[in-house]
């Protein structure tokens, strides 16, 4: 199992704990992310439009780029927040669950 990097923000975990409680950024499908915001200890803020990145790269390439950022700046990142397409995620999980039985 990959080493956990960052947990989702508390507000997202509280919205759907059975999905997000044990989820870390290195295990989250990037296709459901809309935007990622990183705040650094030195005051810098990076806002990364994930959907824009996905329009130009595969989801694996975007995920690799994000993991590299997380690993490189792990000690410098003070706060992380992201916007996620929760409705799409719920729909996809419900659809996949129907196919199990």
Q: What is the pLDDT of residue 2?
A: 45
Question: What does the alpha-carbon distance between residue 93 and residue 101 come to, in Å, rounded to a whole number?
Answer: 13
pLDDT tens digits for range 46-77? 999 999 999 999 988 998 898 889 889 988 99
Residues forming a β-bridge with 36: 48, 82
Q: What is the pLDDT of residue 40?
A: 95
This prediction's pTM = 0.65
Q: How confident is the model at residue 23 (pLDDT cuts 50, 70, 90)?
A: low
- Give DSSP secondary structure letters for 49-72: EHHHHHHHS-HHHHHHHHHHHHHH
Q: For residue 49, how many other CB atoms are within 10 A of its CB?
A: 13
Q: How confident is the model at residue 3 (pLDDT cuts 50, 70, 90)?
A: very low
Residue % of the chain over a pLDDT of 70: 69
Q: What is the CA radius of gyration of the chain?
A: 14
pLDDT tens digits for range 73-93? 988 998 888 888 888 888 887
């Amino acid at each position: 199992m990959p080493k956990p990097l960052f947990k989702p923000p508390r507000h997202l975990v509280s919205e759907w704990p059975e999905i997000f409680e044990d989820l870390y950024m290195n295990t989250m499908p990037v296709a459901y992310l809309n935007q990622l915001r990183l705040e650094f200890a030195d005051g810098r803020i990076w806002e990364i439009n994930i959907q824009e990145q996905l329009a130009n790269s595969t989801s694996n390439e975007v995920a690799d780029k994000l993991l590299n950022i997380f690993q490189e700046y792990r000690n410098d990142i003070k706060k992380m927040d992201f916007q996620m397409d929760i409705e799409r995620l719920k729909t996809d999980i419900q659809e996949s669950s129907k196919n199990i039985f």
